[in-house]
Amino acid sequence: MIEPDRSLEPDWDEDNINHVAFHGIRPGQVEEVYYGEGPFPTLAIRKKKKRGKSTEYRYRLWGTDASGVCIEVIVAPYPEYGLWRCVTAFPMSSSTKKTYFKRIKK
């Protein structure tokens, strides 16, 4: 497990705001997970994603918003621009919650 770069700023636009809203999630909730502001720690896994000849890294985050809602978030960091972009976010499934709490031992 790794930690997302907390020095990066979120990059929101109409597209990704509407996408997470479709899943019942607000940008503020995503940011709370990214910055670890929930009552439980955020877990992050870094994955490579091939895009043609280049490779992009994405992070799968499991965490909670400030009110304790369990959320899974996929972000693409762009440290060269000082930004991270939310690709998608949705409430954790019950099986993912079980795994999450097992990993954080709660």
What is the residue-wise DSSP string for 26-66? Answer: -HHHHHHHHTT-SSSPPEEEEEEEEETTEEEEEEEEEEE-T
Whole-number Å distance between alpha carbons of 52 and 22 = 29
Residue 106: is its pLDDT beyond 70? no
Give me the pLDDT at residue 44, please.
93
Structure-model confidence comparison of residues 56 and 36, the more confident one:
36
Among 1, 24, 2, 20, CA closest to 11: 20
- Tens of pLDDT, residue by residue over 3-34, are 889 999 999 999 999 999 999 999 999 999 99
Q: What is the mean pLDDT of the chain?
A: 93
The predicted model gives 72-82 an average pLDDT of 95
